[in-house]
Structure 1
Amino acid sequence: MLRLVEAFSGIGSQAKALENTGIPFETVMTVEWDINAILAYCLIHKKTIDTSEFENLSDEEVTDFLSACGLSNDSKQPMNDKALALLSPETRLQIYAAIKNTNNLVDIKKVRGESVPEDTDVFVYSFPCQDLSAARFWQKKAGGIRKEDKTRSGMLWEIERILSEMKSEGSKLPRILLMENVPAITGSRYSKDFGRWKHFLEKLGYINQSMVLDARNFGIPQGRERYFMVSVFTGDNEELQESVRQFYRNNNLEDRQHGECFHRRELELKDLLRTDYSNPIYRQEAIEYQPNETPSRHQISLDNPLIYRKDGTTESVVATITTTQDRNPNSGLVYCEPLKEGKPEWRYLTSRECFMLMGFDEEDYERIASFKRESPDKKGIFSNMSLDRMAGNSIVVDVLEEIFLQFPAVREMQDRYENPKAVSPEEKEWISSFFPIFRWGAKN
């Protein structure tokens, strides 16, 4: 069974991908500070937020705990005590329960090497990408991942600290690391700092395998390129190092043909858009995503394609889902007759559609939406803005599935050299059934 740690876990696209693959796994720790993502993660992966175990706690005890956690209500800045006090006692208890139910350590800066569970198989870290944007560079704002600048994207170096502490304490390092970020991280502006990171991992005993993958090649109708780096622990075993390199050369997910052969599903955009407005929930969501007519919104209508048109035809893909659709450019516009006076004949993608375009099931989104509708505390919990942000900050589930499907084979290689008895009979059966799709030796 894979023991998974999700740093910067968001709404848990990593855990969702592993669930879909059928690979036996256990999430042993998460790290996420955004209260919206904390609640959403619990709703998606635990199906509910169970507060029953904690109802004997006073609101003061719950508030003191949350105040010390280092929470955020916008994923950018720490949440102050005044903002925490504005939430209802019930919502504070739900956040507390969600943290406990998902083994969430909340603040990456407070995570120590000793906090990482023993025998962690997969440690994933998708640190913030905001400071890698071209806009911040040209605006001469502090950006990048330079360690000394202490930017949000510089949270990468917290992972360096955690792994260094594990090493110095004699703890066993995670067997596989998985990093995700924007392709810009490999550009010339950041090459020195990112090279420093890769060199650090190599000194620890990892082999780094990099790839840029586009969601549209994995069955999702979204043009979304992201950089992934798999780091496999090999120590100083040169034979294992070569086996890992050969495996990834022969099973390169950047090879479009390989991706097309093995991805789980092929979704079409028309199947993900919710344009049946006889459904009162879909109708209300559409109304909320039809903006008011303004000069700036008119310009948006001129500059962005109609991905769903009046005659019912659709584009094949949408542009990258970002943290907001009310922007120029955006992911595309959906034709929609004005559902309220003063609205245009189009709308943005709804948060429901964005979640599905990130590979989540509609049932996952509906659990979140139901919580929003039923919550006694509407203020600051699951607004459309926060829902859009959670989708845009996530990772496409179907892409992760393909990456994770290679891990049992990598684990088998490690075990072959480290401890042949480490793989359980259940995993051996699963791996044996999956191995035929992999190419182990030289290509024919």
Structure 2
Amino acid sequence: MIKILELFGGIGAPRKALINLGVDHKAIDYVEIKENRVRAYNALYDHRHKPQNIVGWNLKPDILVHGSPCQDNSVAQYSSHTAKENKKRGAEEGSGTRSSLMHETVKIVRTMGEWKPRAVIWENVVGVLEKQAVGSFNDYLLNLSNMGYTNSFQVLDAREFGIPQARERVFCVSTLDGNPFDFNKLRKRKMRSIEEFLENNVTDPRYLINVPSMLNKIEEFNPVKPTDSYKRRLGVIDEFCWTITERQDRCPNAGIIRAADKPEYRYLTEREVWRLMGFDDDDFDLMLNEFPMKKGLRNATLYALAGNSIVVPVLEAIFEVLLAEDFIEQPNDLRSLPNGQLELIC
């Protein structure tokens, strides 16, 4: 049985990935301070967790997965006039920014003493590689290296793993056995059609774009000029959507849908964004029970929960390599196939 610890656990994308792979596992704890995310996790996985802070945590998992808050590492944050101080400090240890919590994970591993997780997985926005934040990222890598870990990181795009969403994230995998994690062994998948993820005949007026300030930003009405310094337009989704974030009713967003029979445009629905993060409709139905829709309104909570998660198929590919390459002990009933996939022994 694989034991995992989820820090900044969100809606439990690592759990969902292991479930999809059929891997026998146990979540020895889940640490998340946001109340809505804890409620969602409990509903999805039938737990009774309460919001809690990661500071000072001390448990012994096989795999530790953390995705510390990314806002202070984003390019948009650095470009904001109200973020000058965060721009200077980035995610530095002790800086007090949300992204500095990545260093709390280092402290947690350090306090474990001689025993340590076999693998530590960290996910964040590509902004951690920008000059304002890369120093802190390098500190994170150095601290893990000093504790015996071998670090590997790469920018992965959800489109490479079957999901039609242009979502690039940095994934760092740190292992204890001295052999670097080989991202070249990840099993890539052909990007599926966006039509598989969209609902049919969405006519509910709550999803219709009718605010003038948003209509004026639709790219088909106001094409981006070559002189525009930053693309702040609403693009119509064709083969894939753009990065799903906490909100869809702002510009830019993950993209909009053009109605087939009339010159109207709509937002992605809550169910669609959950599908585009790798969750299935049964998961979403559980969320609807926990966070019901209100008449005539879109559900901001369901959008935010999805936008803050990790794309599940990307984690599946990482777990497959970790297990197949013996970075962590495999369950007795799991074996690796020649094509790199995992198979349960019945």
Question: What TM-score do you get using the length of structure 1 for normalisation?
Answer: 0.67
**Map of 1:243-282 to 2, 5 A cutoff?**
244-245=179-180, 248=182, 251-253=184-186, 258-260=187-189, 267-277=192-202
Identify the structure with the greater helix proportion: 1
Q: Which of 263, 288, 292 in structure 1 is aligned with 2:210?
A: 292
AA of the residue aligned to 1:326: D
Which amino acid letter does the alignment assign opposite residue 52 of structure 2?
V
- The answer to whether the Cα contact below 8 Å between 1:300 and 1:327 also exists between their aligned partners in 2 is no
1:279-327 per-residue CA deviation (whole Å, 9 max, x = no partner) reads xxxx4xx4222243323443246432322xxxxxxx1111111111111
Equivalent AA in structure 2 for residue 408 of structure 1: L
Matched letter for residue 328 of structure 1: C
Q: Matched residues in 1 for 2:328 and 2:299: separation?
A: 45
CA contact (8 A) 2:66 2:123 kept: yes
Instruction: Quote the sequence identity (%).
Output: 33
Post-superposition offset of 1:105 = 5.9
Shift of 1:362: 1.1
Q: Give, as a single letter, the amino acid of the residue that structure 2 aligns with 1:231.
A: S
Matches within 5 A, 1:347-358: 347-358=266-277
Q: Which residue of 1 aligns with 2:310?
A: 395
Question: How far apart, in 2, do the equivalents of 1:177 and 1:132 lie?
Answer: 20
CA root-mean-square deviation:
2.7
Which residue of the partner structure matches residue 430 of structure 1?
334
Is 1:156 equivalent to 2:156 in the alignment? no
| Paired residues for 1:42-61 under 5 Å | 42-46=42-46
Distance 1:229 1:288, change over 3 A: same
Which residue of 1 is the match for residue 235 of structure 2? 305
Instruction: Give the structure with the larger strand fraction.
Output: 2
Measured in 1, the distance between the counterparts of 2:120 and 2:327 equals: 16
Residue segments in structure 1 that go unaligned for 5+ positions in a row: 47-97, 235-240, 278-282, 308-314, 416-422, 440-444
Larger Rg: 1
For 1:62, the equivalent position in structure 2 comes to none
CA distance in 1, matches of 2:164, 2:66: 25
Change beyond 3 A, Cα 1:154–1:338: farther
The AA in structure 1 aligned to 2:194 is L
Structure 2 unaligned runs (5+)? 222-232, 342-346
Aligned to 1:6: 6
SS of 2:137 mapped into structure 1: helix
Aligned to 2:57: 112
Report the count of equivalent residues.
323
Select 2:78's aligned residue among 137, 142, 145. 137
Cα deviation per residue 1:352-401 (whole Å; 9 max; x = unaligned)? 11010000001111111133339xxx7xxx97112111111111111111
Contact 2:38 2:51 in 1 (8 A): no
Q: 1:331 aligns with which of 254, 266, 282?
A: 254
- 1:29–1:105: 8 Å Cα contact kept in structure 2? no
User: What one-letter code is carried by the residue in structure 1 that aligns with 2:121?
Assistant: L
For 1:189-208, list aligned pairs within 5 A. Answer: 189-208=132-151
- The CA distance in 2 between the partners of 1:175 and 1:435, in whole Å, is 22
3-state DSSP of counterpart to 2:102: helix
Question: What is the TM-score with the length of structure 2 in the denominator?
Answer: 0.85
User: Cα offset for 1:268?
Assistant: 1.6
Q: 1:139 to 1:163 in 2, by over 3 A?
A: same
Does structure 1 residue 40 correspond to structure 2 residue 34?
A: no
| Residues 337 and 413 of structure 1: CA distance in aligned 2, closer, same or farther (over 3 Å) | closer
